[in-house]
Amino acid sequence: MLIKNHSAATLVVAGLFAAGITRYVVADEQRSTLADQSSVAITIYNEDLALVKDIRRITLDTGLRTLALRDVSGKLRPETAQLRSISHPAALHLLEQNFDFDLLTPQKLLEKSVGQMIRVIRTNPATGVETLESAEVLSVANGTVLKIGDRIETGVPGRPVFDHVPANLRDHPTLVVTLENDVASAQQLELSYLTGGLAWKADYVAELSPDDKTLDLNGWVTLTNTSGSAYPNATLQLVAGDVNRVREDMVLAKAASMGVVQEASKRTREMSEESLFEYHLYTLNRPTSLADNQTKQVALLSATQVPVSKELVLHGNDYYYSASYGELGQKLKFEVFVTLENTQPSHLGLPLPKGVVRVYKRDKSGNAQFIGEDQIDHTPKNETLKLKLGNAFDVTADKKQTDFKRTDSGTSRVYIYESAYEIKIKNAKAEAVTVNLQEPIPGDWRIMNETYKHEKAAAHTALWKIAVPANGNAILKYRVQCRY
């Protein structure tokens, strides 16, 4: 496709004053690209939101000017864009700004030419001779319709040639600002704006020790850039927390102006961390480049020999305490949990952003094998992390109701339910295990008798911790009375 370039059209801006109307003529627009950029800083939030601060060194003539800031995010939110002069704060007076994100493509050129004349070059396949015809673009909806001479043709029968590029088509997303400038020397201009298309999430890789007593934890930040622009050598900051989008402008302004509130933890060598409002801010300790349509991972944290405990848990249900059921299940599976404390004595004690924790363990040959993963929410320090990794293979349970009866309590619509249960836990492993049986019991309840002592873990939860010998079994029998 052939395109003939032309200079940008002049803009006329009218200002209305009490004495009358004065016309200002703005010179051809001045373009600024990434070549003018002296630094860029990005703060990325959890919900497809980022704050970009783009600083460029630009020399403007005095008077009314049009400045086209190219290479901004294609998902820039124009209502949040703000341009200011850092070196000469009083020099710029902004009058108007337009965000041009309709990008130059062959299809867009045709769309913008509807109702206008273009030229079409055809090449004779036999002779190679080119002919030129004028054509009116009638429509480009579901295909191109052209009027050439006295005929209508569909499709483009050759190479279309355009006389100019429409003023509102850009090859890159561009913010066009009309302003008055009082200083002729070079200035440091900062453009800040909110944008979509930049996202991050945390991913964690943990390796469990051979005895299941400790793990090594590494955290990674996965960055995704689909904003339509690149950010070379950017200062990168990440905010962990659930920001209310209704008041996000207040929070982001705070993020742009606040300094370090507390000293970064020594355990986060790759990223420093600080409190920010009711969130946590992570700062990468070196610049990084984000290309458009790129996913990048950077290290977040690392910790070694974090103490953990493994739990095998069987959860019951509350429905069978008020009716007769008999068999309640054969070979019931125990859920496997790994629990750790996010504390300094456990070699952590760091605010952990939400993400997925993937756990590995080495086999006898020394090869790391994947053993499960779980999603964690934002976790402050001194909290407990409980990761569900899967279901146990060698530890199962058979469960049945051995007795049930209901009696009238003498009070209207209040009954007494008495039932008995037997849970047989079978362990096919070569070592002993301890299992947790959690039973949600409704109403006002009491255990009448039991073969193992229970704990009242919560108002409606009975918990039994039972040791089961290697290649053996254990049987829990209990009778419970409920009133409701």
477 and 427, same domain (yes or no) = yes
Structural domain contains residue 369: yes
16 and 67, same domain (yes or no) = yes
CA atoms within 13 A on the CB side of 364: 0
378 and 449, same domain (yes or no) = yes
**pLDDT exceeds cutoff 50 at 230:** yes
Q: Measure the CA dihedral 119/124/128/133, to 10°.
A: -20
pTM: 0.71
Question: Contact at 8 Å (CB) between 89 and 49?
Answer: no
Three state DSSP letters for 113-154: CECCEEEEEEECCCCCCEEEEEEEEEECCCCCEEEECCEEEE
> Domain range holding 459?
307-483
Structural domain contains residue 250: no
Collapsed DSSP state (helix, strand, coil) of residue 482: strand
Count of CB atoms situated within 10 Å of the CB of 101: 17
For residues 217-232, give the mean pLDDT.
Answer: 94
The residue ranking higher by pLDDT, 261 or 235, is: 235
131 and 88, same domain (yes or no) = no
181 and 329, same domain (yes or no) = no
pLDDT at position 484 is 85
Distance between CA atoms of 439 and 315, rounded to whole angstroms?
6
Structural domain contains residue 26: yes
Count of CB atoms situated within 10 Å of the CB of 311: 16
Residue 295 dihedral angles phi and psi, to the nearest 5° = -115, 130
Structural domain contains residue 237: no
Collapsed DSSP state (helix, strand, coil) of residue 328: strand
pLDDT at position 440 is 97
329 and 472, same domain (yes or no) = yes
393 and 415, same domain (yes or no) = yes
Structural domain contains residue 129: yes
Question: Contact at 8 Å (CB) between 276 and 259?
Answer: no
pLDDT at position 21 is 31
Q: Which of 472, 474, 479, 463 is nearest to 424 (CA)?
A: 474
Q: How many domains does the chain have?
A: 3
pLDDT digits (tens, 9 = 90+) for 274-284: 888 888 899 99
119 and 19, same domain (yes or no) = no
Q: In whole numbers, what is the pLDDT of the chain averaged over residues?
A: 87
pLDDT at position 249 is 44
Residue 79 dihedral angles phi and psi, to the nearest 5° = -70, -15
pLDDT at position 100 is 86
Count of CB atoms situated within 10 Å of the CB of 417: 19
pLDDT at position 245 is 59
Between 75-84, 120-129, 394-403, 404-413, the lowest mean confidence (pLDDT) is in 404-413
Question: Contact at 8 Å (CB) between 39 and 191?
Answer: no
133 and 59, same domain (yes or no) = no
376 and 460, same domain (yes or no) = yes
Q: Which residues pair with 44 in a beta bridge?
A: 50, 238
Structural domain contains residue 177: yes
pLDDT at position 298 is 92
321 and 469, same domain (yes or no) = yes
Distance between CA atoms of 381 and 189, rounded to whole angstroms?
40
Question: Contact at 8 Å (CB) between 312 and 427?
Answer: no
Percentage with pLDDT > 90 across the chain: 71
Structural domain contains residue 260: no
Pairing mode, strands 159-162 and 117-123:
antiparallel
129 and 11, same domain (yes or no) = no
pLDDT at position 270 is 63
pLDDT at position 125 is 86
DSSP 148-206: ETTEEEES--SEEEESS--TT-BSS-EEEEEEEE---SEEEEEEEEEESSEEEEEEEEE
Distance between CA atoms of 466 and 474, rounded to whole angstroms?
8
Structural domain contains residue 374: yes
Is residue 366 very low, low, confident or very high in pLDDT (cuts 50, 70, 90)?
very high
